[in-house]
Structure 1
Amino acid sequence: MTDHRVRGTTAVAAALVLVVVVVVVVAPLLLTSPAATAAPLAPSSSDQVYQLEDAISLLVEADEDRTGYADTAFPRWNQGLDPADGCTTREEVLIAEAVEQPAVSRGCALRGGRWVSPYDNQSATDLQALAVAHAVPLAEAWGSGAKAWTAERREAYANDQAAYPSLNVVTARTVRERAEADIAGWLPPHPDAVCRYIGDWVATKLRWGLTVDKNENEVLKLFADNSCETTGVIRRLASV
C-alpha cells in the first residue's frame, strides 16, 4: 500500500509540473477550460462558493477503509429525475451533456449525438465508447464514509444529478484507466481538465460529507497552492 501511495504521489507531482507549464487558467465556478463542455448549475441561495484552498479546509481527514466494498452497494442506474420519460439516470446524463443532441425514441433509445469527454478532450459519437463516471468513484466513496450510509443514501449518491460535478460523460477508456483510484493515484490526462477534476472532487466530497485521507489531502493542498489556486468550488449539500 505504501509503495502504491508513493508512486501515486510522484505521478501527481509530475502532473502538477505539467499543468504549471501549460499555464492552466481556472475560472471561479469550475468551468475553467476548453475541455469542460457542460454548463454548471448556477449557485442557488442555499449554496456556498469557496476558493479551492478554503473548500479543502472544510474536509475532514480520516483513514480510508474500503473493506467490504462491492459496487452492488450503490444501486444504479435508477429512473432518474423524470420517471415518466422512460430514461435511466445514465441516459438522462448522456442527453444533458451532449454537445450535439441524440435522437430519443421509445424506451429512451438514443441514436446519433456527439459528446466531448472533459477528462481527455476527446470527441465521440459512439455510445459504446462512452461512460457516465462518478466524480468520486464508488469504492472511494465507500472507503470515505459511504460504508455507514443507508441503502437509500448510497442510491442517491450513485444517481446524483442535483449537483453539477457529480456525474460526467467521459470516454470509457479514461474510466478504465482511473478505475477506483483516488486523487493521489490518478488525474485526467488532458492538462486543462486537472483543475476542474480537483474542484469536482472536493465539491462532491463536501456535498456528501465524505472524508479525505492524508495523502489525498496533501495532494489537494499542493494543487490549491499552485496551478489550481483560482479554482472555485460550489458547496451544495445533499438532501438525502
Structure 2
Amino acid sequence: MIKNLLLRGLPALALTALPLLAGTPAHGAPTLQRHVFPEPPAPDVARIELDRLTVEPPHSMAGYSRAMFPHWAKQYGECDTREVVLSRDGKGVTQDSACRATEGTWYSDYDAKTLDSASKIDIDHMVPLANSWRSGADTWTTEKRKKFANDLDNSQLIAVSASSNRSKGDQAPDQWAPPNQDYWCTYSRAWTHIKSVYQLSITTPEKEKLITMLDTCA
C-alpha cells in the first residue's frame, strides 16, 4: 500500500486511478491518506495580487443559485470533493465503503475549535459561491463554475466548524473575518489568491480589510 499519496495538484485522470494505487482494506473502505491545505502565496506576493485586482461595485445577484455551481463532484471512486477535503484536513480519519468519514478529528482554523465528528464540519468555499457571482462568476460557463466549486489545487476549500461557516455565509472579509485572528494572515492570502486565480473583482471596503488582514502577517 502506497503511503503519503498526495491528491493536491493531480489531474482528473490521475485521481481516477488512485483507488488502484492505494489499494482497498479488507472491510472495503477506500484508503485515503493525510493531505495538506494548499498553501497560499507569501504575503508580498498576495499584496501584488491584491493590487492587480479590479475594484468595482458588486454585480447583481439576478439569476444566482447554488445549483449554478455544480459542487461536491466525484473525484475518484465513491469519493466526492467534500470527502476528499474531510480526509485531507482531518487527523485519524476513517471512512466507510461509500467514502463517508466515520471517525476523525478536525481543527477549525476559523474559530480555533477541535471537533470529533464530520457532522460538525462544513467544507467552506474560501471565496463563497455567491460572492464569486457578485464579482464575475455571473459571466462564467457552468464548467468553469464547477471547477471553482471543486478546486482542490488552490486554497479555495477548507474544513471548518459548521457554526463558523454558517456565520460567515457569503460575506466578504469586510463583512466577516475569522474570530481566530491568528488565522487572518492565511485567510487574507488565500482569499486574495483565489480572486486573482479566477480574475474576480473586489469592492473598496473588501480591499481595505484585506490590507488590514495582510498587515497581521509576520
1:139 maps to 2:104:
no
Q: Is the 1:66–1:140 contact (alpha carbons within 8 Å) kept by the matching residues of 2?
A: no
Stretch moving more, 116-125 or 101-110:
101-110
Identity value in percent: 28
Structure 2 partner of 1:149: 140
| Corresponding position of 2:11 | none
Q: Deviations over 1:20-51 (max 9, x none)?
A: xxxxxxxxxxxxxxxxxx745479xxx99843
The one of 193, 208, 216 aligned to 1:203 = 193
Are the counterparts in 2 of residues 146 and 154 from structure 1 also a CA contact under 8 Å?
yes
> Which residue of the partner structure matches residue 45 of structure 2?
51
Q: 1:72 aligns with which of 42, 67, 72?
A: 67
State how far apart, in whole Å, the 1-side matches of 2:119 and 2:95 are. Answer: 16
Normalised by the length of structure 1, the TM-score is 0.71
Aligned equivalent of 2:208: 218
CA distance in 2, matches of 1:59, 1:48: 17
Report if aligned partners of 2:113, 2:161 keep a CA contact under 8 Å in 1.
yes
Count of residue pairs brought into register by the alignment: 184
Partner residue, 2:54: 60
RMSD: 2.2
Residue 78 of structure 1, CA deviation = 0.5
Structure 1 pair 79–39 and aligned structure 2 pair: CA distance change class (3 A):
closer
Distance 1:40 1:77, change over 3 A: closer
1:119–1:174 Cα contact (<8 Å) kept: yes
Is the partner of 1:107 in helix, strand or coil? coil
Q: Per chain length, whose mean CA-contact separation is higher, i.e. which structure has more relative contact order (CA < 8 Å, sep 6+)?
A: 1
Look up the match of 2:106: 115
Q: Distance in 2 between matches of 1:223 and 1:127?
A: 29
In the aligned structure 1, how far is the partner of 2:216 from the partner of 2:101? 39
1:189 aligned counterpart, secondary structure: coil
Query: How many Å separate the matches in 1 of 2:42 and 2:178?
Result: 26
1:234 is matched with none
Rounded to whole Å, the distance in 1 between the matches of 2:39 and 2:173 is: 25
- Structure 2 regions of 5+ residues with no counterpart? 1-34
Q: CA–CA distance in 2 between the matches of 1:196 and 1:96? A: 17
Matches of 2:42 and 2:54 in 1, distance apart?
A: 18
